[in-house]
Structure 1
Amino acid sequence: MKLAILGATGPSGQALVQQSLEAGHEVLALVRNPDGISTKHEQLRVKKVDVTKEEDLAPFFKQCDAVMSCLGSRPSFLTTVTLYTDTTRAMVAAMRKTGVTRLVCMTAWGTKRKSSAEGEPWAIAWILRPLFLRQVLADMSRMEDYLLSECQDINYTVVRPPKLLNTEATGKDIKTNEGQFVPDARGGMPRADVARFMLQCLQSKEWDRKMIAVMI
């Protein structure tokens, strides 16, 4: 497959690029800073784009089989985060222009507010969300709502991981739940395992048009 990958310079994106190449896919990394990618491979092309602009993305989506995004925003205490909604709207517009319908992207556990009594881990409900991730999670939530309400023509899969770890892949079976988190699971998940699941989503229709929490 030919994959357009956004967010390829970040740690999750780098894991996805590497695993995609190892699986034999052709990768087009669309990035804001090409110097952030050191990987060299005959199946890899790196192009500088403004990821918030449809007109920048569309020429590179032509003949791609799927678009994958590991774009992420740093936590913001006061400033409203719009990266997730801005880039997703640009991606979808470019996909529609070029006839690409498959999208796999990342958000996180707990994009929608739930109380700990309903099962959400206490640390997310009362520490991470209000103190560190409120603006990021709010924008992730708006992005998910946009896909759900306005993108019936897009075959999306939204992958919701917990805390991301910069550790080696475990290779373990991945637990999934079509919801805000994986019940009775704690801790984090290696980025490499998240990338592995994102690629698995391309090989199966099981996760089409779904938002899936994952954990190992």
Structure 2
Amino acid sequence: MRIIVFGANGSTGRLLTEQALAAGHDVVAVTRRPDEFPIEHGRLTVFAGDVHQPDSVDTAVAGADAVLSALGVPYSKAQITTYSEGIRHIIAAMRRRGVRRIAAVSSSAVDPKHYSEAGLLFNRVLQPYIVRVMGKTLYDDMRRMEALLAASDLEWTVVRPGGLYALPAVTDYTMVEGHADHRYTARVDLAAALLRLAEGDLFARKIVSVVTTTDNPSLFQLIRTEALGKH
């Protein structure tokens, strides 16, 4: 297969690129900073592209069997449009090029629900603050992205991970339709789930959750390593 990875230079995108190459696929890694991309391989094309530029997206998608979006941007008080504008251009390019299959990373925070094991502090204080204040503009744009995919005629899957963290290898992760009552997702498992979706029509036109159920961090560890960057 020829798989196009948008957001390839992010943490999940790099893992996804490595896994797709290891599985024998041809990969086009789309990034605005190709000189910084650390992976080299005979079946890898590093493409200098920008999802905000329709012509760039159209060129990147040419010849694809499947498209995977691992786009990511940091929280900001300013309006965020990367997810919705990017997916709008990707959908248009896929239609022009006759490509049908796409899976795109969103977040469980776009439709927040209480978690049975999380306790009052997380469910009533931390999660509402993250969703409604700290990450409001980001999650609003993710919702716009999801709506654009749902309105399209493509074979789309929206992938909603929980709190992302690092593990060295793929685990026996769970991927289920709709909400999963679990808060954490290892990036390596998210990448594996995206690749699995690209390889077939599993969960086509569905929203799925990906959760990691082993070696989870504590909430303090997650905040310390992921939000504060301390290891």
TM-score after normalising by structure 1: 0.89
Q: Does 1:100 align with 2:99?
A: yes
1:210 to 206, 213, 218: 206
Q: Does 1:134 align with 2:136?
A: yes
AA at the equivalent of 2:31: V
Q: How does 1:115-194 map to 2 (within 5 A)?
A: 116=114, 122=123, 125-149=127-151, 151=152, 153-172=153-172, 174-179=173-178, 181-183=179-181, 185-186=182-183, 188-194=184-190
Q: Does 1:32 align with 2:32?
A: yes
SS in structure 1 at match of 2:210: strand
Unmatched tracts of structure 1, length 5 or more? none
Paired position in structure 1 for 2:3: 3
1:2-37 deviation line (CA, Å, top 9, x unaligned): 011110111000000000000000001111110221
Q: Does 1:200 align with 2:196?
A: yes
User: 1:177: Cα distance to partner?
Assistant: 3.3
User: 1:119: Cα distance to partner?
Assistant: 10
Matches of 2:58 and 2:190 in 1, distance apart?
26
Structure 1 pair 59–170 and aligned structure 2 pair: CA distance change class (3 A): closer
Aligned-residue CA RMSD (Å): 2.1
Query: % of aligned pairs identical?
Result: 30
SS in structure 2 at match of 1:17: helix
User: 1:131: Cα distance to partner?
Assistant: 3.2
1:27-86 deviation line (CA, Å, top 9, x unaligned): 01111110221111000011111211221121232211011111111101x211111001
Kept in 2: contact 1:49–1:57 (CA 8 A): yes
Matches of 1:117 and 1:3 in 2, distance apart?
34
Matched residues, number: 208
Kept in 2: contact 1:169–1:190 (CA 8 A): no
Kept in 1: contact 2:164–2:187 (CA 8 A): yes
Q: How does 1:62-81 map to 2 (within 5 A)?
A: 62-76=62-76, 78-81=77-80
Matches of 1:118 and 1:79 in 2, distance apart?
33
Q: Report runs of 4+ in structure 1 exceeding 3 Å deviation.
A: 116-121
TM-score after normalising by structure 2: 0.83
Kept in 2: contact 1:110–1:124 (CA 8 A): no
User: 1:178: Cα distance to partner?
Assistant: 2.4
AA at the equivalent of 1:15: L
